[in-house]
Amino acid sequence: MGLALDRSGELFVTDNQGNYKPFNELNHVRPGAHFGFINFLDRGKSTPPRTPSAIDIPHPWTRSVNGICLLYTPKELRSKLGRDFFGPLEGHLIGCEYDTRRLIRMTLQRVGDTFQGAAYPLSVSPHDPQRGFLGPLVCAVSPRGELYVGSIRDSGWGAGANVGEIVRIQVQPDKLPCGIAEVQATHDGFRIDFFRPIDRDLAGRIESYTIQSYRREATPAYGGPDRDRRTEKVTGVSVSSDARRVTLNLAEMRPGFVYELRLKNLTPGGEFHPAEAHYTMNVLP
């Protein structure tokens, strides 16, 4: 179910964690690349080297990322508005997370011929799970710019009654809370953009940021533990003049690792969401 073409014709597909797969994945499909699950009957046989994912989506932070869609403004709507409808979300990927009944968001960064990027929480889970999504599986953008999400709750997968729903979400980009809009890697750290201006004093403090990196290895076990996890040293912080971007310098960068970024509330007052990002560093820019 998780297939999406971007406007340049690049194809992306999701896959779930499992045996020999320690992450949920967003994969960039192209000739010569090799993804997928090592079947029980194929273990021990010669298999092609596996291509790194564009985004390793942490498990169990997510457990089953399925359908995806790109937030692209429909052509007719752009002609009518004279601008992109989705604002700072334009071109971002929405991911349907079945098990935890929520939506995530992903952004991609191209470094040469390599795609890599970050995953973020999108929907806020209610205190009562019964008041949230049943179990998001598929999503799509309507000609009017609405986001439609199809969910199920299946007795054979996740328990519960065999029921389904289609939910219409009216996206309002101008009403997004202050929070992380996008994380991109630099040669010596990260650049973080925000939906709204942040508090310059809070954002300029090194202690406002906690960054850890880790990797995982494919083993016969389901999923897999973190390896070589460490807390990264932030050596410098700079805030842009419009207070909508922060650039972080790190003491060392580790290609082949996933970076977990957690931020304190950087707003002058009010809600800060999302406050976390999970960036896959395949190559160093």
Domain regions of the chain by residue span: 3-281
Q: Is the pLDDT reported for residue 39 higher than 70?
A: no
Quickly list DSSP for 61-76. T-S-EEEEEE----HH
What's the rounded mean pLDDT across residues 63-82? Answer: 96
Prediction pTM value: 0.95
Higher-pLDDT residue of 245 and 48 is 245
CB 80 within 8 A of CB 243: no
SS3 228: strand
- 230-268 pLDDT per residue, tens: 999 999 999 999 999 999 999 999 999 999 999 999 998
Distance CA 103, CA 2 (A): 13
What's the rounded mean pLDDT across residues 113-142? Answer: 92
